[in-house]
Amino acid sequence: MGDHPKNSRKMWRKPKRPLNYDLLNEELHVLGTFGLKNKRELWKAHTELSRIRNQARSLLALTQDIRITKEPILMKSLARVGLVKENATLDDVLNLKVADFLSRRLQTFIQKKESIKSPYLARQIVVHGHVMIGDRVVTIPSYTVKVEEEDQIHISPELDLNKAKQPLVQEVKVEQSAEEIKTEQPAE
């Protein structure tokens, strides 16, 4: 019997040693750098990286004839996403880091392109529907940006970041001086 469509499989694996304090500190640093919501998002990137590296290792183990036909498929898909260059080798795939995956997220692109102060503010702008790729609104911060979509990313015209930076309450200019106010008060 297969899995029920409502209960899909996990897309991530936890670390084998969860109380490794060096790993915990490294994870917290990556969470803060890329503005991830929780460690599960980081574990998803780790799992995806291990899946791709496993494909590259299995291609290295194949014979040269089969490898020539299957290697361009993997390289083309990774080049389309922007993880490797067009003329990359399998060694470049094996040298990929988690930061390479996380830097291809829409949240990170918006932060760099629009020079937003923090990755968490960039995440909020994406989630609230203010980011567009071409003509469509994308509300998923973990959306992987393809190379051809990089130039099409922009903030929707309804949201003006310069207006958002101004305080909501404007100060009222006081036209009367303090002396005029004292003279206007009735004598008791």
Q: What pLDDT does residue 9 have?
A: 80
Helix, strand, coil content of the chain in percent (nearest 5): 55, 5, 40
Determine the structural domain holding residue 128 and report its residue range: 106-165
Instruction: Kindly state whether residues 116 and 52 are assigned to the same domain.
Output: no
Instruction: Kindly state whether residues 81 and 114 are assigned to the same domain.
Output: no
Closest CA to 126 of 27, 35, 3: 35
**Got the DSSP string for 115-150?**
T-S-HHHHHHHHHTT-EEETTEE---TTPBPPGGGG
Q: What is the pLDDT along the chain (188 residues), one digit of tens a residue?
A: 456 777 788 888 899 888 999 999 999 999 999 999 999 999 999 999 999 999 999 999 999 999 999 999 999 999 999 999 999 999 999 999 999 999 999 999 999 999 999 999 999 999 999 999 999 999 999 999 999 999 999 998 887 666 555 554 555 555 555 566 666 666 55
Instruction: Kindly state whether residues 89 and 63 are assigned to the same domain.
Output: yes
pTM higher than 0.85 = no
List, in order, residues 6 or more apart from 152 with CB less than 8 Å away: 133, 134
Q: What pLDDT does residue 168 have?
A: 47
What backbone phi and psi angles, to 5 degrees, belong to 118? -130, 155
Q: What pLDDT does residue 77 have?
A: 95
Alpha-carbon gap, residue 62 to 58, rounded angstroms: 7
Instruction: Kindly state whether residues 72 and 112 are assigned to the same domain.
Output: no
Q: What pLDDT does residue 177 have?
A: 58
